[in-house]
Amino acid sequence: MFPLHRGRRLRVNESIRSLVRETSLSPADFMFPMFIMEGENTKVEIPSMPGILRRTLDLTVEEVKELFALGIRAVNIYVKVSDDLKDNTGKEAWNDNGLMQRAIRAIKAACPEMIVMPDVALDPYSIYGHDGIIEKGDVANDATNDTLVKMAVSHAKAGADFVAPSDMMDGRVLRLRQGLDAAGFHNVGIMSYSAKYASAFYGPFRDALDSAPKDADVDTEPVEVPKDKKTYQMDYANRIEAVKEALWDVEEGADMVMVKPGIAYLDIVREVKNAVDVPVTVFHVSGEYAMIKAASERGWLDHDKIMMEQLMCIKRAGASLISTYFAKEAAILLNKK
Ligand code: PBG
């Protein structure tokens, strides 16, 4: 009690603050999400994500080596699929020679110690931009799971260290674990997007991959689909449900669980962290990145300070790992210190 205690004694200067700091950040806390496209020696900036590029495979590999040198040890990879390869089955997703599979092989060949986590979900491969197969106007859960298993095994064959199901189908973690084990991939892990909310913060990501939900013509017949993902991604009004989803995924064999998005969902991060005994990861998503970039371009926020504050707060909330488009910039800053 005051005056015996004065909280400010522990804040007098940076040295004492550094001694009592409860949370720390290092480049190994980050995973970098990367967008990959066909072609050679080409990169395109995503308009709603200044500084974030969609790269061809050759340039992706160069970037991965740079990230590794900065201390980043994991990448989440996403591919932009050409329209003529999209359909309602998503079959390009398990083409052993597809862009994703080639990307995994190329990255692992160039930088074997980089942990590669390909995204498992059908949206980049779907004519409807949905994460699974459309039947009767909605995503069919169990039929989609069958395809996700083929997709994950094909990623494992290409050399993926982890697969990262972001689709939110029920029971897919169990199916993936069984499928990977049956194919002999006991050491390929599952990082499950367990509490993934139906969020407007994913807008820029869908621009990057041209993967927003949309109607399509099938055999010249127009087919209408929901323009959001609310029948599988979670309602952002819910908290207890996130714990349920995370516990189910751990029971089904998830090695790590994820909460997504980040900053507006840190109560969920802590709740899940307290409930599970596996590492909790957080996706600091595209819209969160875009907000900081836009406000700092206008001079309204201090870019580097806001970036570090948000990353530290995500870690403090309970994240073991943060998937963030700021990974490279933040690693460079941390390495300077
Ligand atoms: C697709 C997927 C999405 C993100 C990661 N995987 C978009 C979506 O669910 O529509 C979003 C990532 C981001 O916004 O940065 N399954």
Q: Tens-of-pLDDT digits for all 337 residues of the chain?
A: 999 999 999 999 999 999 999 999 999 999 999 999 999 999 999 999 999 999 999 999 999 999 999 999 999 999 999 999 999 999 999 999 999 999 999 999 999 999 999 999 999 999 999 999 999 999 999 999 999 999 999 999 999 999 999 999 999 999 999 999 999 999 999 999 999 999 999 999 998 888 899 999 877 778 899 999 999 999 999 999 999 999 999 999 999 999 999 999 999 999 999 999 999 999 999 999 999 999 999 999 999 999 999 999 999 999 999 999 999 999 999 999 7
pTM of the model: 0.97
Detail the residues annotated as belonging to a binding site.
245
Q: What is the β-pairing status of strands 189-196 and 256-260?
A: parallel
Positions annotated as catalytic residues are 196, 260
Work out whether the CA dihedral 124, 126, 129, 133 comes out positive or negative.
negative
Cα distance between residue 211 and residue 105, in whole Å? 24
* Ligand 1 atom having least distance to the Cα of 202: 14
Q: What is the β-pairing status of strands 280-284 and 256-260?
A: parallel
In the chain, the domains with their CATH numbers are 25-336 (3.20.20.70)
Angle between helices 99-110 and 57-69 (to 10 degrees): 40
In this prediction, residue 210 carries a pLDDT of 86
Could you tell me which residues come within 8 angstroms of residue 205 by beta carbon, excluding any fewer than 6 positions away?
78, 211, 285, 286, 287
Q: 212: Cβ below 6 Å to ligand 1?
A: no
Cβ 6 vs Cβ 24: under 8 Å: no
Cα distance between residue 119 and residue 163, in whole Å? 7
In this prediction, residue 220 carries a pLDDT of 73
